[in-house]
């Protein structure tokens, strides 16, 4: 494998330090349809497992170095304006479990679910 070392990256107009790109970018992300379920786009995701309604496991291609990574999420359900919540459990360096729904104590599969993860890869 080759290694490129540079202090800055430029497109000719804007310049950014490579430390910002390495440390400030999401290391993995996934967008999936929970009603199918199927991954519609991803970076550093090897697979998705559907356990039950609103209950999924996401597996990373390259693991994080520790279980101190962070996650942000967004979801949408067709023709619904109900409050939505997402929680993460079973955090590991190579995977996590996510739960969707819970508005009015009801779980559901979203038509659009998106998760982004930040942390140091192993």
DSSP letter assigned to residue 111 = S
Average pLDDT, the chain: 84
Average pLDDT over residues 10-16: 86
pLDDT (tens digit, 9 = 90+) per residue, 55-89?
899 999 999 999 989 888 887 777 666 666 777 88
Answering whether pTM is above 0.85, one says no
Burial 43-53 (b: 16+ CB within 10 A, else e): ebbeebebeee
Q: How confident is the model at residue 5 (pLDDT cuts 50, 70, 90)?
A: confident
**DSSP of 18-35, one letter per residue?**
HHHHHHHS-SEEEEEETT
6-10 contact pairs (CB < 8 A, 24+): none
Average pLDDT over residues 99-122: 81
Q: What angle do CA 81, 83, 86 make, to 5 degrees?
A: 125
């Amino acid at each position: 494998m080759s290694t490129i070392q540079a202090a800055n990256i430029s497109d000719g107009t804007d310049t950014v330090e490579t430390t910002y790109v390495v440390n400030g970018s999401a290391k993995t992300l996934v967008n999936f349809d929970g009603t199918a379920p199927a991954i519609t786009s991803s970076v550093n995701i090897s697979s998705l497992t559907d356990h039950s309604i609103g209950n999924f496991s996401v597996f990373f291609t390259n693991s994080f170095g520790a279980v101190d990574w962070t996650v942000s999420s967004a979801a949408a359900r067709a023709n619904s304006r109900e409050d939505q919540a997402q929680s993460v459990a079973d955090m590991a360096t190579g995977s996590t479990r996510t739960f969707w729904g819970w508005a009015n104590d009801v779980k559901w599969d979203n038509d659009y679910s998106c998760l982004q993860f930040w942390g140091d890869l192993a």
